[in-house]
C-alpha cells in the first residue's frame, strides 16, 4: 500500500508541473507614442528630471502641506482603500495555502447496536475507539490552483495600485480646494476695497447732484454698482465657507473644524517643474498599474477555468490507533494506516467548463481594452495639463502687466485730481479699475497653480509605496 502511495505521489508531482492557460505577457508600454506626440515638447521651462512624489512641497505653503499629510492619514477614502489592500492580501495568503495539504487530528468513539454477525461483528453491542491524524491534499496537476494564486497576487497588486491612485486624487483635490479658498479670500479682500471706493463714488455723485452740477443718472449707476459688489461679496463669503468645509471633510474632519484656518497668500508653483520622460510617467501612474494588474488577473482566470476540464487527483492519508476499548487508543500495537488516492473527472458537463473558459477569455479581452483606454487617457491628461500649464503662465504674465498699467493710470489720475486738473470721481474710478485688474491677476495666479496641480496628477505624483507587505 505504501509503495502504491509513493508511486502515486511521485507521478502526481511530476504532472503538477503542467500549467493550464496562457502565461501573462505584459503589453508593451506605449512610450513610443508618447515620445512622438508633442505633449512633452510643450513643457516650456519644465525640467526633464524625475519629479518628486510630494509635489505640493514645491508650493512652499506649510498649511497646505499639513492638510495634505492629514488627509493622507485620516481621510475615510484612504482608509477604505487600505482595508481593500489588506483584504486582497489575505486572499493571496489563502490562495497560496490552497496549494498545501490540510493536516488535522481526530478522536472518535463509535457505539453500534447491530444484528448478529452484521458486517462481521459479534452479536449485540459494539464499541470502537480511535485516535489519529489525517491529511488531505488535492494535487495541482494542471496548475489551476497556481493560476488562482497568480490571480490573487495580481488582484492584491491592483488593490495596492488603487490605493496609490486614491492618494494621488486626494492630494490633488485637497490642493485644488485650498488654492480656490486662497483665491476667494484674496478676491474678497479686494472686493471690500472696491466696495469702499464705490461707496465714495456714490457719495460724491450724490453731492454733485445735490449741488446741481450733475444729473441723477451717475448717482443711480454708482448705487447700482455698490449693490452689485455687495452681492458679489456675499457670494464670495459663502464660497469661502463651503471651501473650508470641503477641506475639512477631505482631511477626515467634520465641517467647521477649519473655520479658524489662518489666511495666506495664493501659493505659486516653482520656477521649473520636473516632468520626466513619457515611459517613466506611464510606469508611475497608479491607474495604469492597476489596469495592467487587472489584466494579469483576468489572464490567470483563463487558466483557472481551463484546468477544470481535466481530472483532479486528491490524496487522503490516515494514521491512527484504536480498538474496541478505550485503552486501545494508547496501544501502539493497534496502529493502523490508510492511504486513499481519489481521481475525479467530470468529462460530461454539457459545455459548462468550455463556456466558463470562453467567458474568462472575454474578460481578459475586456481588461486589455480597459488597459489601453487607461494609457490613452493618461497621455491625454499629460498633453492637456502641459498645454494648460504653459497657457496659464502666459496668462499670469499678461494679467500682471494689465494690473501694473491700471495701477499707473490710477496713480496719474490721483495726481491730476490733487492738482485740480481732474475730478476726484475720475480718480476713484481709475482706482476701482485697478482693483478689478488685481482681482483678475489673483484669479490668474490661482489658475496657474491649479494647472500645476493638474499636471502633478497627470504625472501620477502624490503617492508612496507601502513597505508593510504580507
Using the predicted structure, report yes or no on whether residue 257 has a pLDDT greater than 90: yes
pLDDT tens digits for range 210-229: 998 889 999 999 999 999 99
Sheet holding 124-139, edge to edge: 102-114, 124-139, 312-323, 335-344
Top pLDDT among 453 and 118 is at 453
CATH code at 369?
A: 1.20.1600.10
| Stretch among 198-207, 239-248, 339-348, 455-464 having the lowest mean pLDDT | 339-348
Q: Is 215 exposed, middle or buried (0-12, 13-18, 19+ CB in 10 A)?
A: exposed
Q: Write out the residue range of the structural domain in which residue 265 sits.
A: 29-99+144-310+354-458
For residue 220, is it within any domain?
yes
Residue linked to cell 496668462 = 395
pLDDT computed for residue 317 by the predictor: 77
Whether 138 and 343 have beta carbons less than 8 Å apart is answered as no
CA separation, residue 283 to residues 277, 278, 280, 319 (Å): 10, 9, 5, 54
Whole-angstrom Cα distance, residue 116 to residue 443?
Answer: 100
Q: What values do phi and psi take at 461, rounded to 5?
A: -95, 160
For residue 133, is it within any domain?
no
For residue 7, is it within any domain?
no
Q: What is the mean pLDDT of the chain?
A: 84
Whole-angstrom Cα distance, residue 284 to residue 274?
Answer: 14
Q: Length of the chain, please? A: 470
For residue 131, is it within any domain?
no
Using the predicted structure, report yes or no on whether residue 3 has a pLDDT greater than 70: no
For residue 385, is it within any domain?
yes
Strand partners, 205: none
For residue 128, is it within any domain?
no
CA separation, residue 34 to residues 48, 78, 281, 291 (Å): 14, 31, 10, 18
For residue 5, is it within any domain?
no
The number of domains in the chain is 1
For residue 341, is it within any domain?
no
pTM given for the model = 0.83
CA separation, residue 403 to residues 236, 262, 272 (Å): 21, 27, 25
**Range list of H helices, 18-106:** 31-36, 62-74, 76-97
Amino acid at each position: 500500500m505504501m509503495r502504491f502511495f509513493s508511486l502515486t505521489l511521485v507521478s502526481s508531482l511530476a504532472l503538477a508541473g503542467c500549467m493550464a492557460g496562457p502565461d501573462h505577457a505584459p503589453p508593451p508600454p506605449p512610450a513610443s507614442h508618447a515620445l512622438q506626440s508633442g505633449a512633452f515638447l510643450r513643457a516650456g521651462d519644465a525640467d526633464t528630471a524625475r519629479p518628486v512624489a510630494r509635489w505640493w512641497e514645491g508650493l512652499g505653503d506649510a498649511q497646505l502641506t499639513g492638510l495634505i499629510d492629514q488627509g493622507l492619514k485620516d481621510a475615510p477614502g484612504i482608509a477604505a482603500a487600505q482595508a481593500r489592500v489588506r483584504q486582497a492580501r489575505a486572499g493571496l495568503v489563502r490562495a497560496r495555502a490552497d496549494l498545501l495539504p490540510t493536516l488535522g487530528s481526530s478522536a472518535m468513539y463509535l457505539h453500534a447496536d447491530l444484528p448478529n454477525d452484521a458486517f462481521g461483528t459479534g452479536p449485540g453491542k459494539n464499541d470502537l475507539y480511535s485516535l489519529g491524524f489525517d491529511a488531505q491534499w488535492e494535487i495541482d496537476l494542471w496548475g489551476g490552483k497556481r493560476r488562482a494564486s497568480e490571480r490573487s497576487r495580481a488582484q492584491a497588486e491592483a488593490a495596492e495600485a488603487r490605493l496609490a491612485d486614491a492618494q494621488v486624487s486626494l492630494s490633488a483635490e485637497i490642493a485644488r480646494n485650498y488654492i480656490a479658498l486662497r483665491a476667494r479670500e484674496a478676491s474678497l479682500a479686494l472686493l471690500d476695497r472696491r466696495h469702499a471706493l464705490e461707496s465714495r463714488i456714490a457719495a460724491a455723485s450724490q453731492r454733485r447732484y445735490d449741488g446741481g452740477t450733475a444729473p441723477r443718472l451717475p448717482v443711480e449707476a454708482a448705487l447700482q454698482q455698490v449693490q452689485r459688489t455687495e452681492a458679489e461679496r456675499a457670494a464670495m463669503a459663502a464660497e469661502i465657507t463651503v471651501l473650508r468645509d470641503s477641506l475639512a471633510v477631505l482631511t477626515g474632519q467634520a465641517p467647521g473644524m477649519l473655520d479658524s484656518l489662518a489666511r495666506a497668500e495664493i501659493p505659486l508653483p516653482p520656477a521649473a517643474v520636473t516632468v520626466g520622460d513619457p515611459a517613466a510617467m506611464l510606469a508611475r501612474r497608479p491607474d495604469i498599474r492597476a489596469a495592467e494588474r487587472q489584466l494579469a488577473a483576468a489572464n490567470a482566470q483563463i487558466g483557472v477555468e481551463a484546468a477544470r476540464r481535466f481530472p483532479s487527483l486528491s490524496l487522503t492519508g490516515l494514521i491512527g490507533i484504536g480498538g474496541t476499548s478505550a485503552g486501545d487508543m494508547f496501544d501502539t500495537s493497534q496502529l493502523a494506516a490508510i492511504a486513499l488516492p481519489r481521481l475525479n473527472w467530470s468529462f460530461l458537463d454539457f459545455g459548462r467548463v468550455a463556456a466558463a473558459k470562453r467567458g474568462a477569455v472575454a474578460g481578459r479581452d475586456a481588461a486589455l481594452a480597459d488597459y489601453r483606454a487607461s494609457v490613452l487617457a493618461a497621455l491625454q491628461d499629460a498633453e492637456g495639463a502641459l498645454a494648460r500649464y504653459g497657457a496659464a503662465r502666459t496668462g499670469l504674465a499678461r494679467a500682471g502687466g494689465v494690473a501694473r498699467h491700471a495701477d499707473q493710470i490710477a496713480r496719474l489720475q490721483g495726481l491730476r485730481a490733487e492738482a485740480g486738473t481732474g475730478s476726484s470721481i475720475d480718480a476713484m474710478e481709475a482706482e476701482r479699475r485697478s482693483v478689478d485688474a488685481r482681482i483678475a491677476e489673483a484669479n490668474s495666479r490661482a489658475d496657474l497653480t491649479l494647472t500645476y496641480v493638474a499636471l502633478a496628477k497627470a504625472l501620477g505624483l502624490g503617492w508612496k509605496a507601502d513597505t508593510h507587505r504580507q
